[in-house]
Amino acid sequence: MKQNGLRRPVTLIHKECFPTRSEALKREAEIKRLPRKKKIELVESSIGYKMYPRV
């Protein structure tokens, strides 16, 4: 079973495009290392509004 199999439904809230798979995987690892606050800021900049106003 895939990772999101038990967490349905899911909604895509952030997307970035890269020319190579290698660059995409590097960015994914970089995002995973970010603290939660920075991840929220990244997502909020993508969707255009505050998800968690107090963070």
What are the pLDDT digits (tens) for 16-37?
A: 999 999 999 999 999 999 999 9
Angle at 5 between CA 51 and CA 32, to 5 degrees: 50
pLDDT of residue 46: 85
pTM of the predicted protein model: 0.69
Task: Report d(CA 35, CA 17) in Å as an integer.
Answer: 22
pLDDT of residue 4: 60
- Strand, helix or coil at 23? helix
Q: Which sequence spans correspond to the domains of the chain? A: 1-55
Residue 55 or residue 46, greater confidence: 46
